[in-house]
Amino acid sequence: MRVSVFGLGYVGSVTAGCLADAGHTVVGVDVDEDKVRMVSAGTSPIVEPGLDELLTTGVRTGTLSTTTSAHEAVAATDVALICVGTPGRTDGRPDVGALERVARGIGLALRSAPKPYTVVLRSTVLPGTIDDVLIPTLETAAGPGSTGLRVASNPEFMREGTALRDFAEPPFTLVGTDDSNTAETVRELYARVTAPFVVTTVRTAEMVKYVSNAFHAVKIAFANEIGDLAEALGVDPHDVMRIFALDKKLNVSGAYLRPGFAFGGSCLPKDVRALVYAARTRDIAGPLLSSVMSSNEAQIRRAAQTILDMKRRRVGVVGLAFKPGTDDLRESPLVTLCETLIGKGCEVRVLDRHVSIARLRGANRRYIEDEIPHIASLMCDGPAALLAHADVIVIGNDSPDAARVLGSIRPGQAVVDLTRGTVSRNAGRAA
């Protein structure tokens, strides 16, 4: 393929070198004349093991050339990969000025010589940037030349220092587009890469990159706080984390990473508090661990506010235990939610058959009667009673009753789904 790579920094120079090495005809573009000169001489503008060799070979064999002119680059290629910087301003907002300038340059080149052209954004941008900044800028500059313009997101997951290997073996190749031809164009670019090829929406692709980096940052902060605490408790931090990471079922896996509602139960809140206590009593700050419970409480407050904002008093909550399929009400966030709503004057009814059974003969009977008798008296015996009572249905967990209730919502009845669509998705799969 004939590809131009805009921006010859850390991402762009590696991308240009690797694509040239893969047999594509690559034109590297930068406004920085020094970088253009260096790449055209086969010298890497960044310190990256192995890159000098790739660039030298590309230039020598003619698969890699460079220019400072967007016009020249667009004229010589069918696809542009944009790899310019998106540095953060002081308030955190990414600066997309360089992206806008590149988009304008590509658009103007297409205006003067219209042709089908694919623009792929590799830079990291917030969800909505392609729709709200890149596409309008390209289209305005290209004018009639924007016919045949295709745009995709293709975030980069390489790490400096191991960038060549990461380019060849990424965790996946991610493409955001709703057009299968555009996805195929990107697939062809990375034909040599054997990683899973994931196609999603533009906004999802844009967001996955931030979620990945934020999670990496959270992992490092978590490991360091555990390291501080382990040392203070006389435990080898490396041993702790090595053994922790052996558990690929619950610890290092997709478990507990599905967005839904707040956590609760007899273990997680208690044990987080215990670690925070241990840190505090040893003068260790542990701001990440210390903020976990308040983050969880914020989820409950947000749910309550969403329901209260609807200004409907008759509320039906599906689920009361801390997770579906159990009768354990200890520290259940749904109990807290119900108590908040009752306190604000809502008439609450609850459907949770496991809890109803527990009330009659289960181990939690005393807890229910002693701790939350006011909620126990609000239990419905089936979906029909809940549906008949409520103006607002709150789906608290993913249970068969939740699917039944959702399937029988009457017109005008509002739904607040704290599972964020999990019940409907699972019901759809089961159907």
Ligand X SMILES: NC(=O)c1ccc[n+]([C@@H]2O[C@H](COP(=O)([O-])OP(=O)(O)OC[C@H]3O[C@@H](n4cnc5c(N)ncnc54)[C@H](O)[C@@H]3O)[C@@H](O)[C@H]2O)c1
Site track 110-149 with ligand X (rule: CB under 6 A), x = hit = -------------xx-------------------------
Q: Which is nearer to ligand X, 87 or 325 (CB)?
A: 87
d(CA 157, CA 154): 10
Residue that has been written with the tokens 């587009």 in this structure: 177
β-strand pairing of 347-351 with 314-318:
parallel
Q: Which is nearer to ligand X, 12 or 383 (CB)?
A: 12
CB closer to ligand X out of 104 and 313? 104
C-alpha dihedral (282, 286, 292, 293), degrees to nearest 10? 30
Strands of the 314-318 sheet, one edge to the other: 347-351, 314-318, 392-395, 414-417
User: Measured from the CB of residue 122, what is the shortest distance to ligand X in angstroms?
Assistant: 6
For residue 81, the minimal CB distance to ligand X (Å) is 11
Q: Pattern of binders to ligand X over 76-95, x per CB under 6 A?
A: -------xxxx---------
Contact residues for 390 (Cβ-Cβ < 8 A; gap 6+): 314, 315, 316, 349, 413
317 within 8 A of 396, measured Cβ to Cβ: yes
* 18 part of the active site: no
Q: Smallest distance from the beta carbon of 52 to ligand X, in angstroms? A: 17
Question: Which residue from 3, 4, 10, 368 is in contact with ligand X, where contact means CB under 6 A?
Answer: 10
Q: Are strands 197-200 and 149-153 parallel, antiparallel or unpaired?
A: unpaired
Residue 144, classified by CB atoms within 10 Å of its CB into exposed (0-12), middle (13-18) or buried (19+), is exposed
Which lies closer to ligand X via its Cβ, residue 111 or residue 314?
111
The secondary structure of 197-249 as a DSSP string is EEEE-HHHHHHHHHHHHHHHHHHHHHHHHHHHHHHHTT--HHHHHHHHHH-TT
Q: Please say whether the beta carbons of 240 and 233 come within 8 A.
A: no
Q: Which of 102, 152, 229, 321 binds ligand X (CB under 6 A)?
A: 102
Burial of 194 (C-beta count, 10 Å sphere; 0-12/13-18/19+): exposed
- To the nearest whole angstrom, how small is the minimum distance from the Cβ of residue 35 to ligand X? 5
Q: Which of residues 157-196 bind ligand X (CB under 6 A)?
A: 158, 160
Question: Which position's Cβ is nearest ligand X?
Answer: 9
Q: Please check whether residue 231 is in contact with residue 147, taking contact to mean a CB–CB distance below 8 angstroms.
A: no
From the list 26-34, 327-335, 347-355, 418-426, the region that binds ligand X by CB under 6 A is 26-34
Q: How far is the CB of 169 from ligand X (least distance, A)?
A: 15
Member of 3, 7, 263, 292 binding ligand X (CB under 6 A) = 7
* Min CB(178)–ligand X separation in Å: 23
Task: Indicate which residue of 18, 83, 267, 380 is catalytic.
Answer: 267
Angstrom distance (rounded) from CA 43 to CA 16: 12
Query: Residue 51 interacts with ligand X (CB under 6 A)?
Result: no
Task: Please report whether residue 30 would count as binding ligand X according to CB under 6 A.
Answer: yes
How many residues line the site for ligand X (CB under 6 A)? 24
**Residue ranges that bind ligand X, judged by CB under 6 A:** 6-12, 29-32, 35, 83-86, 98, 101-102, 123-124, 156, 158, 160
Which residues have a catalytic role annotated?
267
